[in-house]
Structure 1
Amino acid sequence: MKSENISLNALIKDFKSIDSVKELKRRNLTVANNFEIGDAILELRKYGITTTLSKEVAEYYEGFGLSVIKHGIGWIVNLP
């Protein structure tokens, strides 16, 4: 299995396990971040790339081995 599939699958699995504000806080995320991550998963699956303005979200993606590159005021996120 490609490393991009492993990283994305791990991200999706963790995202699906977030079912409370307590789980969000444990990951240093907010409810708004959670919605952003859900949308970003769709972009990553379709295009292999997404962006974020949130440092916390960028750090969350890095935890799953995604390529996170600082760009202007935000970050570009690619599958490995």
Structure 2
Amino acid sequence: MFINDLFRDGSPANGDISKWRRTSVGNNVSIGSNSTILPINICDDVVIGAGAVVTKDISEPGIYAGNPAKLLRKVDD
């Protein structure tokens, strides 16, 4: 699930696209089922575990899981 409206004003954006935020997903990224991705940037070569909640940018390749998602293991180049 990708979220682009953070309800910063305490209510939904109601179609006001100026309140929407962008999510950027790099190459070779695998996102497990039932994960929640907030408006963040995900670098290349990342695996996000099923059910993870990604609340911050991911700038280091690796395997992430949990709520909030944390780096479990780095990926070797």
What TM bracket, shorter-length normalisation? under 0.3
Q: TM-score normalised to the size of structure 2? A: 0.22
Q: Quick one: higher RCO (CA 8 Å, sep 6+), 1 or 2?
A: 1
Larger-gyration structure (1/2) = 2
Q: More strand by proportion, 1 or 2?
A: 2
Q: TM-score normalised to the size of structure 1? A: 0.22
Q: More helix by proportion, 1 or 2?
A: 1
